[in-house]
Structure 1
Amino acid sequence: MKASLVKNSIINVCKAKKGTCLVLVIAIFGTVFASLVPPQVLKLVIDKNLVPKVPQGLLALALLYLGALLCIGLFDFTKEAVITVLGQTITKEIRSEMMDKLETIPASYFSSQNAGEIVSRFTNDVDSINAMFSSGIVGLAIDCFKIIGIVISIWLFSSQLGLIVLVLLPVIFLISRLFQKSMLKAQLENRRVIGRVNNHIGESIKNMLMIKSNSKERYMEETYTKYLQQNFKTIEKVNFFDSVFPPIIQITRALVIALIVVLSSKELHFLGITLGMVAASIDLVSNLFIPIENLGMELQNIQSSIAGSRRVDEFYREKEDDSKDTTITAKAILSQKTTANLVFDHVSFHYDKGVEILKDISLNIQDREKVTLVGRTGVGKSTLFKLVLGLLKPTKGSITINGVDVYAIPNSEKRKLFGYVDQGFQIIVGTIGEQISLKDPSITKEQIERALEVVDLTEYVHSLEKGIDTPVSDNSLFSQGQKQLLAIARAIVTDPPILLLDEITANLDSVTEAKLTAVLQKTSQEHTVLSISHRLSSLVDCDTMVILEKGKVKNSGSPQKLMEEDDWFRSHRELEKLTGR
């Protein structure tokens, strides 16, 4: 486990781009040195040309002044270009590391975290780390070097003036430190609120039809307004500190410049410096307060970056899933036997400790057996499917296929063992063929064509201009029933021994359901089928029905047996006959 993802990513990028880092260092020192030249030239122009009124190399000094400004621009351009390259490289490195981490996080993490929070870490937090370089640490380093150079230059003019500047610097530092702590707290709170806002927007768009059909627009609007108000308050805090800091610096600068003028006056002559030195000192002091003023913005960017990097490191320190056994392959599992037996051995599971969803489930599903899970909503049927697929790990017990724990099977092998179909069909960017293969290069065109033929979509797909190579850009190309058939084709294209069907006819009309039932009857002959049905008259003729109640197996057996022995089953079956549902 790495101690800090951000720190290691920065170190790795710097090691890989040593030459670029060297150019950045040269550009930084070049910018600092060049910025100190114009005030010195100004002193010479006044003392050697304007005061004695006898020009002494005025043209050369003018060219030197212009040359210094040109060097400042050149070094500054080089610095910004290098910072952009390094910043984007580091951003890419961090996001790649985070994506690798995402693949190792157990599925239970996504049940406890909302999508907006996760997306915010990948986008806003990583972008804030990039800002650390473009307008944070590098800018802070340049400004600190400028301050040191300016203090030395002023000290050479007048030790008294140098002391005044040195006394001023700790005051500015203490003010900056106070703002640093306050801004960090405000930034962290702002990150959390932004995550909630992003999640609400995503959920609203995803469930727009449901929101409109249930007239929940006002509720969603009020919730969104509440989140926006929270976001506004946190941004207000950040903006307050950001807006108060620069005026404080500007007022202090004006007072110091006024003090220099008074102390250098003919009446006091306290500093004992020439008119050229006074002009140069005022220029240097102005240049001194510009980097000090910038420190506020740079500190804010650094604090934002620290807040973002902490959240990224928190994500990276999330508990990882148990490592998969890479030696396990679907071919090896299925070669051990000619059958695919699925065994639930005293399986229990909970999301939150103390609240068990499933309790001591024991089932032995034989090869090509048809098993249907029934029970009230929330009883744990879909959770049981996630356990079968190895997305969740049982709290107790185990689920095995031919004696191999499904949770230990590499994800890359699971599609060859399980075909999963739920109520919806998630369209990806790609062609019809890629909707079925999910862009798996190991799946051939012949396998896709065979899957389409099984689900009776060959004629329709071939009627399209490009056949299976037709791009799918929206939902209008297929009806709801055809999407469910595509979902089945996606599930069976690898010819897995076990099919998992999760209430796939819940949103279909009776005609479409009948067609889907016929397709499933045909495909289920060669597979073990574990299905969830919202009705007891399961869409697939089953050998065994399992009734779940309060997370336990209440009863199981053939439909005929349950009609005779189970009152709950009998009453619900009779109710379905009366209502036709």
Structure 2
Amino acid sequence: MKKLIPYLKPYIASISLGLFIKFMGTITDLLLPWILAHMIDHIVPQSSIRLILLWGLMMVFCSIFAISANITANHMASRVARDTTKQIRHDLFKKISYLSCSQVDDFTMPSLISRLTSDTYHVHNMIGMMQRMGVRAPILILGGILVTLTLDFYLTLVLLAVLPFIIILVYFISKKSIPLYDKLQQSVDKMVRTLRENITGIRVIKALSKTDYEKNRFSKINTEVVEDEKKAAMTMAITSPMMNLFLNLGLTVVILVGAYRVNNGLTQPGKIIAFLTYFTIILHAMLSISRIFVIFSKGNASFQRINEVLQASEDLVLQEKDTIDSPYHISFDHVSFSYYNQQENLTDISFHLRQGETLGIIGTTGSGKSTIIKLLMRFYDVDKGIIRIHGRNINSIPQEELHTKFGVVFQNDVLFADTIAENIDFGRGLALEEIAASSCFAQAEEFITSLSDGYTHLLTAKGSNLSGGQKQRLLISRALAGNPEILILDDSSSALDYRTDAKLRKSLYENFQSTTTIIVAQRVSSIMHAHRILVLEDGKVLGYGNHEELLKSCKSYQEMNQWQMGDGRHD
């Protein structure tokens, strides 16, 4: 919890003022039973209406002040909780944005979503509750005990005898409940992942008639969440009845001892009434503490999960300057890589591209084509070998500088629920002329201008109101809009017809001659005109050269060409 303190420091003044107001309101609450006892034992026997009204008005004033103070303090506590959680959520989102791909893989996407949503909600509740009841309840308990000592010392001993049992109970229950709430949040992560998969793949599920199967799968994880929540809730549920038992037993003893002492003239009825009131106040304060521990247990477990992300070390460390003289724009020198350090996903990959050249990468599914792109953009660090851009080791290039060199369309890229223009611009502040030019190069202008509202046409989430080919052309428009130094097209023309694909390749050749291009494709026709073609299988290079060279030297490429092009030749 020490890690939470820096987030609360900017609000120390507000917290302090709120606690002072809460303190004054709580002390005023504690005065009311004492005033009542004083009226019963000393004012009423005097039979003075004036004094009774005077002390009655004092009770009314104290009640109004206590209510106003508590409302004001609660409002301030809510504001602090809101602003603190807002900052935590901002920092968490920022940290997640800069996590490396391997770190995202380790945390998992559903877990990160859960930490950013439900975990921050629990922290918000904890901060607010600790300011509201976390201050009020202890003051009511300690203040109540001190006041009862002035009323009747022997009855107070009965109360003090009960407190150690309650403290021990709260300690052991809270110690056991925090790990249970942490386990509950992990189960929630699984449920978020399952729900996310179902929503994303709903069309596939319906098409394959797997609705019942997915319902059963969700039911299983939902039951796991319920069971974990039940264990945590049942553990915490022991607190309230046990505290009620201890305090009610104490209250019974107080009544018996109090009756004996009044009967023997050792105390006064007003003090007994006041004492019972204070005992009830302390009872409710203790019950509030049990609720606080429930909220605290959830909040503490959630903040630990949040803090794991916030304290994650920098995975992709910027290394010392490493530059050599090189005639090549992009160089892969004996690069090997493994995602989970078990078996290599890429083995000894080498190729070199000059400025403006095009590299086509082709191979079977899972051969490592997209992995090469991820390594080039330094989403992951290589295990062996070196990747250079203009002779600079990419490990020595700052991320913000490195990524501005690229215009990229990923294999499963995303369009956002915004206008076409905003999806192409992507927050870069481009002029409409530049947006229109890039869409023209990407062969998207024709269908955009055919829309009634053109570039202001609003897309739905993931561009679901567009066809596959339209989406790919918009994504290519986005990649071209920044006039990139390196253009990466990762299986980005699979939904295009051959005529549009050919026009796109021609447009890129004519308008982006100085841009080094890497095309990952499944079709030979998409990469056959590239200066260099890399043929991969199981992360290893089967062939490297141009189209004609590979037709002579690479059997795998020959077979792909034969299957797709027919006779193995193309004029």
TM-score normalized with structure 1 length? 0.90
Q: Which residue of 2 aligns with 1:146?
A: 140
C-alpha contact 1:499 1:528 (8 A) present in aligned 2: yes
| Structure 1 pair 485–294 and aligned structure 2 pair: CA distance change class (3 A) | same
Matched AA of 2:68: L
Counterpart of 2:436, as a letter, is E
Instruction: Please give the residue correspondences for 1:483-494 in structure 2 after superposition, counting only pairs within 5 Å.
Output: 483-494=471-482
Give the CA deviation at 1:213: 2.3
Q: Which runs of 5+ in 1 are unaligned?
A: none
Q: 2:330 aligns with which of 313, 321, 342?
A: 342
User: What is the CA-CA distance between 1:459 and the residue it aligns to?
Assistant: 4.3
Deviation of 1:425 after TM superposition, in Å, equals 4.7
SS in 2 for 1:276: helix
Superposed, which structure 2 residues align to 1:562-581 within 5 Å? 562-577=550-565
Matched with 1:516 is 501
Structure 1 residues 172 and 267: CA distance shift in structure 2, 3 A:
closer
What residue number does 2:217 align with? 223
The CA deviation string for residues 250-309 of structure 1, in whole angstroms up to 9 with x for no partner, is 233332222222112258857921000010000010011110111111011111111111
Give the conservation status (yes or no) of the 8 Å contact 2:23–2:135: no
Name the amino acid aligned to 2:504. V
Asked if the contact 1:187–1:307 (Cα under 8 Å) also holds between the matched residues in 2, the reply is: yes
Mapping 1:346-357, distance limit 5 Å: 346-357=334-345
Matched AA of 1:108 = S
User: What aligned pairs does 1:350-365 form with structure 2 within 5 A after superposition?
Assistant: 350-365=338-353
Structure 2 unaligned segments of length 5 or more: list them.
none
Aligned residue identity for 1:548: L
Partner of 1:445: 432
Structure 2: distance between partners of 1:134 and 1:411 = 38
- Asked if residue 14 in structure 1 is aligned to residue 44 in structure 2, the reply is no
Decide which of 51, 63, 68 is 1:57's aligned counterpart. 51
SS in 2 for 1:346: strand
Superposition deviation, residue 562 in structure 1: 2.1
Counterparts in 2 of 1:449 and 1:412: CA distance versus 1, 3 Å: farther
Q: What RMSD in Å do the two structures reach over aligned CA positions?
A: 2.7
> What's the counterpart of residue 399 of structure 1?
387
In 1, Cα distance between equivalents of 2:125 and 2:230: 20
Is the CA contact 2:114–2:188 (under 8 Å) kept in the aligned structure 1?
yes
The question of whether the paired residues in 1 share the 8 Å contact of 2:332 and 2:386 is answered with yes
Distance 1:268 1:60, change over 3 A: closer
Secondary structure of 2:345's match? strand
Q: 2:363 aligns with which of 366, 372, 375?
A: 375
Q: Which of these residues, 80, 90, 93, is aligned with residue 84 of structure 2?
A: 90
How far is 1:340 from its partner? 6.4
Alpha-carbon distance, 1:528 to partner: 2.5
Decide whether aligned partners of structure 1 residues 315 and 271 sit closer, same or farther in structure 2, where only a CA change above 3 A counts: farther
Whether the 8 Å CA contact 1:49–1:55 is kept in 2: the answer is no
Aligned residues with identical type, % of pairs? 21
Q: CA deviation at 1:216?
A: 2.8
Q: In the aligned structure 1, how far is the partner of 2:438 from the partner of 2:261?
A: 99
Number of residues of Structure 1 aligned to a counterpart in Structure 2: 563
Quickly say closer, same or farther: Cα 1:100–1:463, change in 2 above 3 A. Answer: same
CA 353–391 in structure 1, closer or farther in 2 if over 3 Å, else same: same
Alpha-carbon contact 1:421-1:487 (below 8 Å) kept: yes
Shift of 1:51: 5.8
Task: Say whether residues 1:454 and 2:441 are aligned partners.
Answer: yes
Conserved? CA contact 1:545–1:559, under 8 Å: yes
Q: In structure 2, what is the Cα distance between the partners aligned to 1:493 and 1:34? A: 67
Please give the alpha-carbon distance, in whole angstroms, between the structure 2 residues aligned to 1:205 and 1:410.
Answer: 37
How far apart are residue 393 of structure 1 and its match?
1.4
Residue 238 (structure 1) aligned with residue 232 (structure 2) = yes
How far apart, CA to CA, are the structure 2 residues paired with 1:271 and 1:560?
115
Whether 1:538 and 2:532 are equivalent positions in the alignment is no
Change (3 A) 1:412 1:464: farther
Give the C-alpha shift of residue 159 in structure 1.
1.3
5 Å matches for 1:60-209? 60-136=54-130, 138-209=132-203
* Alpha-carbon separation, structure 2, partners of 1:188 and 1:520: 53
Alignment of 1:200-349 (within 5 A): 200-266=194-260, 269=263, 272-324=266-318, 341-349=329-337
Contact 2:25/2:66 (8 A) holds in 1: yes
Name the CA shift for 1:258/1:192 in 2 (closer, same or farther; >3 Å).
same
Rounded to whole Å, the distance in 2 between the matches of 1:26 and 1:299 is 23
> How far has the Cα of 1:153 moved from its partner?
0.9
Distance 1:219 1:344 in 2: 45
Shift of 1:103: 3.6
Q: Is the 8 A contact 1:481 1:516 kept in 2?
A: no
CA distance in 1, matches of 2:460, 2:554: 49
Kept in 2, the 8 Å contact 1:424–1:484? The answer is no
Offset, 1:157: 1.2
Query: Could you tell me which amino acid in structure 2 is paired with residue 452 of structure 1?
Result: S
Give how far 1:10 is off. 1.9
Query: What is the rounded CA distance, in whole Å, between the counterparts of 2:204 and 2:366 in structure 1?
Result: 20
**Helix, strand or coil for the counterpart of 1:472?**
coil
CA distance in structure 2 between the partners assigned to 1:536 and 1:113 by the alignment:
38
Deviation at 1:375, TM superposition (A): 1.9
Residues 433 and 468 of structure 1 are in contact (CA less than 8 Å); yes or no, is this contact kept in structure 2?
A: yes
Whether contact under 8 Å (2:370, 2:490) holds in the other structure is yes
Query: Relative to structure 1, is the Cα distance of residues 212 and 392 closer, same or farther in structure 2, using a 3 angstrom cutoff?
Result: same
Does the CA-based 8 Å contact 1:563-1:569 persist in structure 2?
yes
- Please report how far the alpha carbon of residue 520 of structure 1 lies from its aligned counterpart in structure 2 after TM superposition: 2.2
User: CA contact under 8 A between 2:415 and 2:475: conserved in structure 1?
Assistant: no
In the TM superposition, residue 217 of structure 1 has moved relative to its aligned partner by 2.3
Residues 259 and 190 of structure 1: CA distance in aligned 2, closer, same or farther (over 3 Å): same
How far did residue 310 of structure 1 move?
0.9
State the 1:521 CA deviation.
Answer: 2.5
Distance 2:160 2:89 in 1: 43
Name 1:469's counterpart in structure 2.
456
Distance 1:267 1:486, change over 3 A: closer
Q: Distance in 1 between matches of 2:86 and 2:102?
A: 27
Structure 2 SS opposite 1:88:
helix
CA contact (8 A) 1:326 1:410 kept: no
Cα distance in 1, alignment partners of residues 91 and 413 from structure 2:
30
Provide the residue aligned with 1:26 in structure 2. Answer: 20
What is the CA–CA distance in structure 2 between the aligned matches of 1:125 and 1:578, rounded to whole Å?
A: 57
Deviation per CA, 1:392-422, whole angstroms, max 9, x where unpaired?
Answer: 2111222111112334434444454222123
AA aligned opposite 2:11: C
CA pair 485-65 structure 1, distance change in 2 beyond 3 A: same
What CA distance in whole angstroms lies between the structure 2 residues aligned with 1:270 and 1:354?
84
Letter in 1 for 2:544: S
Shift of 1:522: 1.9
- After TM superposition, give the deviation of residue 26 of structure 1 in Å: 1.6
Match of residue 469 from structure 2: 481
* 2:149–2:156 CA contact under 8 A, matched in 1: yes
Question: Following TM superposition, by how much is the alpha carbon of 1:188 offset from its aligned partner in structure 2, in angstroms?
Answer: 0.9
CA contact (8 A) 1:372 1:533 kept: yes
Alpha-carbon distance in structure 2 between the residues aligned to 1:404 and 1:434: 33
